[in-house]
Amino acid sequence: MGRCVARELVEWSGVDAERLVDLLVERALAEMGNYYYYTLLRMHLVGVEGDALRRVVEDAREEDRNHFEALVPRIYELGGRLPATFAGELGGLGDLRNLPAEADVPQILPILLKAAEESVRAYTQLCSVTSGKDNRTYNLVLAILHEEIAHQVWLLEFLGRGATEPSPRTRNISPFVAPYLRAPRPVSLEPAACTA
Ligand code: ZN
């Protein structure tokens, strides 16, 4: 691991930077895994109920991709790296791979709910690891947490409402994470900032 000013600052504030980077990398891979499985799922949801759930899946899918995009610059800023190869087995939605091709909404919904719960738990943990210490990471993971909680709410609403009425939700994609997607290129992505 090279020398990084951002990393030194984080360590100085009392955060275990290596553990923090590990957690952030784990989340980035989980987000990408979920994005992948949401993409597959979107193609398999049919019928009236499937259509209704697909609208939820499409929004969650876009936001999870944004979460991945927002996490990566911070990982590199802290001197971390993404693995060179993507295993594709991470993230709570990985359980979807065990489903039969003709899986229906009642089979799929518990997996989506479990994955949403796992994400909320992971970002809550990241918030408590960084709270009052690493404000930059804290603000980012809190923004993502808000959106993960929204995913959970959408699914619970769907569970309560079923496909009977259209969702009352009119929401922009990534209202909390959007500012992090417009952020300038982080310093440490420049070649010389984190030396090996
Ligand atoms: Zn996400």
CATH code assigned at 67: 1.20.1260.10
Does residue 115 lie within any of the structural domains? yes
Mean pLDDT of 151-180: 80
SS3 60: helix
Give, for 9, the enclosing helix (H) or strand (E).
Answer: helix 5-12
pTM: 0.87
| C-alpha 195 – ligand 1 centre gap (Å) | 30
The model's pLDDT over 26-63, given as tens digits with 9 standing for 90+, comes to 999 999 999 998 998 888 888 888 888 988 999 999 99
Mean pLDDT within 10-14: 93
Instruction: Please indicate, yes or no, if residue 116 is contained in any of the structural domains.
Output: yes
In the three-class reduction of DSSP (H, G, I as helix; E, B as strand; rest coil), residue 3 is classed as: strand
Domain assignment of residue 106, given as a range? 15-92+102-182
Please tell me the distance between residue 5's alpha carbon and the centre of ligand 1 in angstroms: 28
What spacing in Å lies between the alpha carbon of 113 and ligand 1's midpoint?
Answer: 13
Q: What's the gap in Å between 104 CA and the centre of ligand 1?
A: 23
Report yes or no on 10 lying in a domain: no
Question: Could you tell me the distance, in angstroms and rounded to a whole number, from the CA of residue 148 to the centre of ligand 1?
Answer: 6
Q: Give the chain's domain count.
A: 1
- How many A from CA of 75 to the centre of ligand 1? 16
